[in-house]
């Protein structure tokens, strides 16, 4: 899983291109982390559905 480890950056002294590249990098890492987390949730839901026969407890 991606780890967010961005040192303090003086964005006022960076060029617009550097700011854009820094933001792109952050957003790509965020996207990877969210996709990883979503895949973990999907796997857990699938495992739970299999263990309960696909039925919600207390319903049906």
* Domain layout of the chain by residue ranges: 11-54
Give the pTM: 0.59
Confidence of residue 41 (pLDDT cuts 50, 70, 90): very high
Q: How buried is 13 (Cβ within 10 angstroms: 0-12 exposed, 13-18 middle, 19+ buried)?
A: exposed
Residue that wins the pLDDT comparison between 55 and 58: 55
Q: How buried is 29 (Cβ within 10 angstroms: 0-12 exposed, 13-18 middle, 19+ buried)?
A: middle
Cα 39–chain centre separation: 9
Rounded to an integer, the average pLDDT of 36-50 is 95
Confidence of residue 8 (pLDDT cuts 50, 70, 90): low
Confidence of residue 3 (pLDDT cuts 50, 70, 90): low
Element (H, E) at 23: helix 16-51
């Amino acid at each position: 899983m991606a780890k967010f480890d961005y040192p303090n950056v003086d964005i006022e002294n960076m060029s617009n291109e550097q700011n854009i590249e820094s933001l792109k990098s952050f957003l790509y890492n965020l996207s990877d982390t969210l996709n990883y987390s979503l895949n973990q949730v999907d796997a857990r839901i699938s495992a739970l559905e299999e263990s309960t026969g696909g039925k919600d407890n207390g319903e049906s």
